[in-house]
Structure 1
Amino acid sequence: MPSTLFVGIDVSSQSNSVFFIDQDGNNLIKKPFSVSNDIPGADSIISEVISHANAINASCVKIGMEATSHYAWHLHLHLASSPDLAPFNPKFFVMNPGVVKGFKKAYTYLPKTDDFDARIIADCVRFGRVNPTPMPDFRYAALQRLTRFRYHLVQTISSEKSRALNLLYLKFSSFKEDCPFSDVFGSASTSVFDSFTPDEIAVMPVEELVDFVLSHGNNRLKNPEEIAKTLKSAANRAYRLNPDMCDTVSMTLTMTLENIRFLESQLKKLDKEISKQLNGFRQTLTTIPGFGNVLAAGLVAEIGDVKRFKNECAVAKFAGLVWNKYQSGNFSAEDTSLAKCGNQYLRYYLVEAANCVRIHAKEYADFYCKKYNEVTKHQHKRALVLTARKLVRLVFAMLSKGQIYQPGGNG
């Protein structure tokens, strides 16, 4: 009688641990075997799978592995594209490690080793509470590399700016508080605190400081005399740094500013490439007020083929925009937390998009204000996340139907 072979693979950077069980949970090998995480190792897995599938007359092979960073990517594609496995109707399950960790708790004490993990992964697939993982669409995957890299690049820029502000406080403690510029990291602003110490600004003639500010502000600054007076006032109030530290703090601040400028130039290049890649997709998200190519690309890349999702609730769950419920007896909690268990990149782009849309679309501005005024704590974050959840409905409807944005008319 035909049966199913279940394969568990514990993936790591250098090796893969493999285990086989049948549909009744019986071990087909005494202990997992290990192969290298490369093409020869993957081919060895294919040979062993075929051998054990024939031994139990298997008509189907189900192969499970954890989504361990990027280490499972090549193995999954190599096995899925193997013509030798095709007769066994293979199905692949690249699972969230949290699912396997939770499943493992159903067992009595087990050590955390690759040998046991491979066995647990195979058993997790056998129980059938996980969904097969389709082959990736490489068009979306290529765009995804760019949008995800942009996410990390933005985080890096943010970290560098925080570091720069810490150094700025040491060099010029009152600058941020009294900053007369609209952007602390603007060209004129950074030129001032990078070029001068508070002592130098305090003794500098106002006319000379005005000329410096104008030359580095592209002559676009309004009331430069007032800016110069504010800078001199801030310089007089600022703490003085120990002379032994002045040179080192100035040097590290200068280098940090150079890092920021370089990273921001890279961000501009990346945004151009993202816009170029987005042109290869049919989408209407850019017709939403406040949506640019970057936000649209981030959503398109992470959602992929919208037909994968049954409804907008499935997209929200995939993004982690769902709230935990707590109920016991007659008690039901009103204050619940965001699950945050889904795709962090999709959640990031949805929240960023919501922040833009609430500024440009009245419907979302009104919704944001309503949610903002409902509570007294975490007002902005709560209202923004709820606006992002509302935006999911619009995004799903527009991607599904190919419609352009219509105020109050989509979905």
Structure 2
Amino acid sequence: MKKYIHIYLSLSLCVILNFNSYTLLAANRGKNVPKRNDSVFNVLEYGARGDGSSYDTKAFQAAWTATCKANGGVMVVPSGHTFLLQPIIFNGDKCQPNVAVQVDGIIVASTNKLDWKKNTGQWILFTKYKNGITISGNGGVFDGHGQTWWNPKADHERLVAPHAMTISNCNNVTITGIRIQNSPRMHIYIEESQEVKVFNVTVSSPGNSSNTDGIHLSRSQHVDIHNSTLACGDDCISIQAGCSDIKVYNVNCGPGHGYSIGGLGYRGSRALVSDIMIYDSNVQDSMTGVRIKTWEGGSGSVHNVTFSSITMTDVKTPITIDQHYGGARGGMAEASAVSITGITYQNITGTYTRTSVSLLCSEYKPCNNLTMAGIHLMPSKDKKQGRGGGPYCSHAYGEVLTETLPSLHNCLQPILK
């Protein structure tokens, strides 16, 4: 009898344990099982083929529409594929906050000129993101196929050469981990935007590709550009009217036209640029190193600019100010000019191939309060580069705080009071 009682109790305990186990599994069903991330949207799932020959523009647009609806949504462009895109606009005025684009594959621009008939100068346009957007990548490439645009004899029926990537009217933008190459015009064009960070970005185009600025800034504030390599056919970084609080550091520039402010004051326009810092960077095989250029007849000002700890290697003219950019109209300088004051050059070193320092300022609006310290520029040892010279100063006023090479004591005149 005791034997049967023992068996009965054992069976009862097993039933109870199994019941509790099933109850526990039911209660936790799915908790430890990976779920599909509802905030990630892969362009392949929206019809993109990624074969490099089929248009994927509509699929990208559909994937982005879905991404915008998710707070923190991410549109993924996967590796192992090449996606062909016509001009496309990613509009963020109805997007949830903190959306992102993750580019791990290759995106190429159409070379069919019919696709650019309605283009207004952009290939990939991000606009109206007021709540933040991140454009990042892990080996991702944007290829603008600019070779078909750079040839001045190319038949484009007066089509506007597009910028590769445009950021327009946005706040809180991050661009990182991508490569932009062979842009028809500017590689990254940033306008009317604030709180922009660009880092770990590579720009690559031949030195003879016309008007292919690496990063072009217009009417933008609080921009931070660092740890990037920019090689192009024009300014590595171009800073235009309406820009302030711009920091550039740990950037490698060349070939190209160096780091430029301007040209400002075109056709009598008013330009204001202030609080610019470019430091701890390099320039090589470039037309200019650090440059400020303004058109005659303009107005406004450039002030509080610092160029510091920049190494030049075989740069034609490392330090340049040109208030006669484009040449005097009618052979005579105009009485109006953009004012240039409070410019500091510190620890600018390296080699030049044409002119060490060229400060060609306006007799009507002389450059004033220029500061020079730690300037050490030698002619290039590469005889093929030509013969160096300078310095040249005209209507330039400031002070030299240390001994410089070449000597600038007799080049700058005492500060105007």
Shared fold by TM > 0.5? no
Q: When you count strand as a share of all residues, which structure comes out higher?
A: 2
Q: TM-score with structure 2 length normalisation?
A: 0.25
Q: TM-score with structure 1 length normalisation?
A: 0.26
Q: When you count helix as a share of all residues, which structure comes out higher?
A: 1
